[in-house]
Amino acid sequence: MKGEKRKLGVLKFIIVIYALFCIIVFAVTMTAQENLNEQQNVTQTKQIAGLLAEKMNASFAYVIGYAKEYALTLEQRQNEDLPTFYEEQQKMIRDTEYSGLGLVGPDGTVYGEEGQVADLKKYGYIDDAIKTKEQYITEPYRSCVSGDHILTVFLPFDRGEGQQALLFASFQLKSLQDVADTSVLEDQAGIFLLNAYSGNHISCVEWQSIMPGSWRSLKLEKSKMRFQEGYSYDRFVQSMRSGDEDGIIIVDQDGTTYMVAYEKIESMPDWYMVIKMESEQLLDESLKVQRYIWFGSAAMVLATALMVWYLFKREEREKRRFRQLSTIDMLTNVYNRREFDHCLDLYVASDEENKCGMLLFFDLDEFKKINDTYGHKSGDHILRTFAGILQSICAGGSVVGRFGGDEFVVFLKGCTEKSVVRRFVQDIREQAFCEMAKGERLRISFSVGAALYPTDAVDLDELCNCADQAVYKAKQSGKDTLVFYDETT
């Protein structure tokens, strides 16, 4: 039994260790999965920003491409005057996507539509373009002519003798905004054009109540942003001002985590394409997979645990059954001889004080005759009945066994008085009846031999011999009687 308990303890320990192991592996896997998801988010957001910036560059190149080519042709026509070119432009502008075309001569004379020129002068863009002496693009500004946000690109062209003139072409910011406005990202991302130095950014799409064409300031939004570990406002700004091609930051704002990816727009120096998306959105699909993995893993762990538990229980049942098979007499349901001896051995080896008891051998009288008369089935029935009577009368602590055939043995622990034994046997005798087939009530006759431990014998085998001798005497004395061993000597 001690061995059994020890084995059970070990098994429980193994199960607990296994469960802990599963939990740890589960946690590590989920953490790794989350990290992977975050990495994937970062990569995907950057890719989206990169794609949009590429589109922006391509769109920009397309928009100013015509003007660039025109500027080149103007360089070939250095003998013609600028007013002529200007008149030409006003005729061709209808066939272009430009909202305005104009020229700035080497002497600073400006040829252009009044409103367009007024805007350019108001913002100082003409002076800036002249100073730059190379391609110059304005910030988006609101045109007085159309009321829309436009940009103007200045393209220098050579007029000979070291003189340079400028061609300027204005186009709608919407043509660039439309590049960023995709149905795939509809309502899911804020898309901005951001200036690295001022931090001003203009929205390209409608998102979270921000309308396209609305200006925003990074300095103002900084107070609402909480940068996650590893990211900071200074690093973000410095990265763009250093001219990094791209980058990403993760911020918490108003309780939501956002990925903010930025990609340089080559055709617009100092400007970046910025995508701002909720982290969770990109995670949607991978979260679904993650959930499936979680549930699957949890189900597997649970199933494994249940399986182990089931196997454990089954093993217990099998052991009990096996134990039962090896200890119980299958016919009468009392201990078999081996188990009876074992019980006695345990008792004798125990630490109890004043160990004593009466060993009783019961031998059914004329059993063979009964078998022959009534049949083996009836004989088995008599044996079961008698065993049942013994069990019902025996007190707790007493041990009942079958030694085989028609022999039963009972050990009355702590019993030393013959009178008690006589009373015990008398009780059995009074109940020793068996209902047979056809309603016959058969009296079960039996002989009993009793030996006292440790008085008659200390050794258990010897004690059995004593009891055996006593039952032999009982048989010789006419059967159906009780004989004590000390009466045989």
Partner 1 sequence: MPVKRLIMAVPVVLILMSILVACGYGADHNSDTQTERKVYTYDRVTGAADAKEEKDIYMITKVADSDYWLSIQRAAKQAADEVGYNLYYGATENEADVEGQRQLIEDAVKAGADAIILAPLDSDALVPDVQKVKEQDIPVILIDTILNTKEYDVCYMTDNMQAGRLAAQKLRQLLLNECVSDAEEIEIAIQIGSANSQTIIDRLAGFLEYWADYAPVNWKVSDDVYVNNGDVEDAAAHAAQCLESEQNLKAMVGLNNGSSQGIAQSIIDHKRTDIMMVGFDYSDQMKALVTSPDYDAATVVQNQHDMGYEAVMAAVEIRQGNTPAYKFVDTGVNVIDIDNLEEEEIQRSLAQ
Residues that bind partner 1 (CB under 8 A): 115, 122-123, 139, 141-148, 195, 197-200, 211-217, 219-220, 222-223, 233
- 454 upstream amide cis, omega within 30 of 0: yes
What Rg do the C-alpha atoms of the chain give, in angstroms? 52
Spatial separation of the C-alpha atoms in residues 162 and 168, rounded to whole Å: 20
Spatial separation of the C-alpha atoms in residues 444 and 427, rounded to whole Å: 13
Nearer to partner 1, 75 or 181 (CB): 181
Nearer to partner 1, 78 or 132 (CB): 132
Shortest distance in whole angstroms from residue 362 CB to partner 1: 58
The DSSP secondary-structure symbol of 107 reads: T
Shortest distance in whole angstroms from residue 147 CB to partner 1: 4
Closest CA to 484 of 458, 455, 460, 459: 455
Spatial separation of the C-alpha atoms in residues 277 and 95, rounded to whole Å: 38
Shortest distance in whole angstroms from residue 136 CB to partner 1: 12
Shortest distance in whole angstroms from residue 39 CB to partner 1: 30
Spatial separation of the C-alpha atoms in residues 311 and 314, rounded to whole Å: 5
Residue 148 structure tokens: 């829309």
The DSSP secondary-structure symbol of 94 reads: G
- Tokens 């990169």, residue located: 50
In the chain, the N- to C-terminal Cα span, in Å, equals 40
Encode burial over 3-16: b for 16+ CB neighbours within 10 A, e otherwise.
eeeeeeeeeeeeee
Answer whether 379's CB lies under 8 Å from 434's CB.
no
Shortest distance in whole angstroms from residue 296 CB to partner 1: 40
Nearer to partner 1, 51 or 237 (CB): 237
Shortest distance in whole angstroms from residue 33 CB to partner 1: 37
Nearer to partner 1, 235 or 376 (CB): 235
Shortest distance in whole angstroms from residue 163 CB to partner 1: 26
Spacing of C-alpha 100 from chain mean position? 61
Shortest distance in whole angstroms from residue 320 CB to partner 1: 43
Shortest distance in whole angstroms from residue 216 CB to partner 1: 7
Residues making up the chain, counted from first to last? 489
Answer whether 410's CB lies under 8 Å from 463's CB.
no
Residue 303 structure tokens: 């199933």
Nearer to partner 1, 90 or 371 (CB): 90
Nearer to partner 1, 145 or 436 (CB): 145
Closest CA to 148 of 213, 79, 103: 213
Nearer to partner 1, 145 or 287 (CB): 145
Nearer to partner 1, 156 or 212 (CB): 212
CA distances from 336 to 12, 249, 342, 343 (A): 32, 80, 10, 11
Nearer to partner 1, 81 or 234 (CB): 234
What φ, ψ does residue 97 adopt, rounded to 5°? -95, 10
